[in-house]
Amino acid sequence: MANFFRYLIRLAYRSGASGLLVVGMLDSSFLVLPFGNDFLLMALSANHHTRVPLYVLMATAGSLLGVLVTVRLSRKGRDVLHKKVKRRRLAYVEKQVKQHAGWALVLASLMPPPFPFTPFVAAAGALNVPWRKLLLSVGAGRLLRFTIEGVLAVHYGRWILSQANSPALHYFAVAMIVIAVVGSAWSIYTWVRH
């Protein structure tokens, strides 16, 4: 199984910017790919310094596409909220979320894994945060985060690449793959169950 995921990671790496788009979309949807997009962005940026702006934009675009999927699904789950929460309380929570969602989403977008980003997006979708606010907030946060990662990869790229073949990184990658499979299965199970 680990060989299959290594193959997928290599395929995404060989795909370059389009690989970042796909991995970014999967990472920001209901699938769990801890560090996948970040490591891919850093590895590509470390090897191809002149393409960093393209990589940052594609990773951000992929993340926004994943957010669209998550929000679309979570807005359908809004009916569940109406059944389980009193209308007055839900109206108060919606008002608070709409007022403060922008900053919460920017901060959630900046946080590195394993911070749970998807629940923030799902909650914003279920509580009907306007599309424009949601996409601008997430886009700004992801753009800043990926830019920082790309710049760090340019400056520390040789060291990052030298660590790529270390046994510790291989064990870490296998552990992350296991977490990704279990997390994704659990995420899909909870979405289907509701």
Q: What predicted TM-score, i.e. pTM, was given to this entire model?
A: 0.72
- Split at pLDDT 50, 70, 90, the class of 172 is low
pLDDT tens for each residue of 127-144:
788 889 889 999 999 999
Q: Which residue has the higher pLDDT, 92 or 182?
A: 182
pLDDT of residue 142: 92
Q: Residue 29 in contact with residue 69, Cβ under 8 Å?
A: yes
Model confidence at 84: pLDDT above 60? no
Q: Residue 13 in contact with residue 40, Cβ under 8 Å?
A: yes
Q: Residue 32 in contact with residue 183, Cβ under 8 Å?
A: yes
pLDDT of residue 138: 92
Write the DSSP string, 22-88.
Answer: HHHHHHHTTS--TTHHHHHHHHHHHH-GGGHHHHHHHHHHHHHHHHHHHHHHHHHTHHHHHHHS-HH
Segment 109-122 shows an average pLDDT of 76
